[in-house]
Structure formats: structure tokens, C-alpha cells
Amino acid sequence: MRPGWDEYFMQIARTVATRATCPRLAVGAVLVREHRILTTGYNGAPRGVAHCTEAGCLLVNDHCMRATHAEANAIVQGALHGVSLVGSTAYCTHQPCVNCSKLLISAGIAKIVYDVPYLDAIAAELLAEAGVAIVPFSTVEGRA
């Protein structure tokens, strides 16, 4: 059966997550506008820096400082290649943290569809204040 658009883009986000190089969590993000993929991102080290899989994680307060989050990497790809993300939808394997939520807001993302919840009251408050729709994938119509 042919998947709907939400299912299609979430499946791509899951595939993008398989490129993650931080063993703590594989996360993928796909930024889309008008059914066209603009950018993708997964969690991994910045360009020119050894990945966690090569050098190990740099943990501070149980967070890996070596890895850049998937959503941030997807936004950076837009900046590197001159792709405007205004009005786009982010399909994320995991609900964005507060820092990624702020970046998504500032990049002009209009909607976030996420699969795995990550409860962050401050992120939710900021997204709501900025008018960014945040939708659990489990509630999307026509998903598999």
C-alpha cells in the first residue's frame, strides 16, 4: 500500500537516523516544504571533528557534547546550501529538545511531526508561543 506523505517522510527520517554516529541515540530529521525534501540531518560530530563512534562520547551532565543534534544539522545544511526553511515541516524521529526547538523556531519551521516523545515543558511552551505546531506522529491520519 502506498504510504501517505507523513508516513513517507517519517520513514525517511528513520532511515536518516541510521547514519547517526553517537551510540547513545540515533535521531533523524527531514525538513520538507510542499512535499519536497529540503534538508536532512542526523546526530553526529561537527565537520572535521571525530565522531563518537571513533573517539567516544564527551559526556557532561549525561549529555554528549561531541554530537550535534539531528535538527541542528538539518538547519545547518540549509544554511550551507542557501536553502530557506521558512514555512517548512520538520519530521523528527524524536521530539526536539529545547535547544533544537529554539533553532527550529528561528529557522522559520511551521510544524514539527515527531515519533518518540521527549517531554520538555520549556520547549513546548516556546513552540506554542512561536505558533509552531507540534504533532505526535501517532495522531497523524493515514499512518501505517
| Residues recognised as catalytic | 71
Instruction: Extract the C-alpha cell encoding 68.
Output: 550535534
Picking from 94, 89, 128, the residue whose alpha carbon sits closest to that of residue 112 is 89
Report the DSSP beta bridge partners of residue 31.
39, 90
- The CA distance from 86 to 96, in Å, is 18
Instruction: Count each helix (H run) and each strand (E run) in the chain, helices first.
Output: 5, 7
SS3 call for 22: coil
- The CA distance from 29 to 3, in Å, is 18
